[in-house]
Amino acid sequence: MKLLIGGSSSKFFHLQEFVNALEELNVECKLVFDADYANGFPSRKLGTWLTTNSKFNDLISNFKPTSFWSGGYKKRNTLACSP
């Protein structure tokens, strides 16, 4: 399994501990700063609403995760898996 994890700077330390624990279980992980790949929606920058995110697409193409987790939101975390 390859897990892509994105998180905010305030949670990065704890997410790194999570990644370390998963890697001990032979789960390949990549931890990224979520703001490097997404502005959030809606953004005040109207020009970003309709553009493709090539940096994110490159990350997905190169790492090829089987699932991803975003720990940057306070009320809701997301976990998605591909079949």
What's the CA gap between 73 and 79, in Å, rounded? 12
pTM higher than 0.85, yes or no?
Answer: no
Delimit the domains of the chain by residue range. Answer: 2-81
Higher-pLDDT residue of 68, 83: 68
The separation between CA 1 and the C-alpha centre of its own chain, rounded to angstroms, equals 15
Structure tokens at 16: 């790194």
* 3-state DSSP assignment of residue 23: helix
In the predicted model, is pLDDT for residue 77 greater than 60?
Answer: no
pLDDT digits (tens, 9 = 90+) for 30-69: 999 887 877 665 666 666 666 667 888 898 899 998 888 7
The confidence band for 24, taking pLDDT boundaries of 50, 70 and 90, is very high
Considering only residues 6 and 53, tell me which one the structure prediction assigns the higher pLDDT. Answer: 6
Determine the Cα–Cα distance for residues 28 and 14; give it in Å rounded to an integer: 17
Q: Name the fold adopted by 2-81.
A: Alpha-D-Glucose-1,6-Bisphosphate; Chain A, domain 3 (3.40.120)
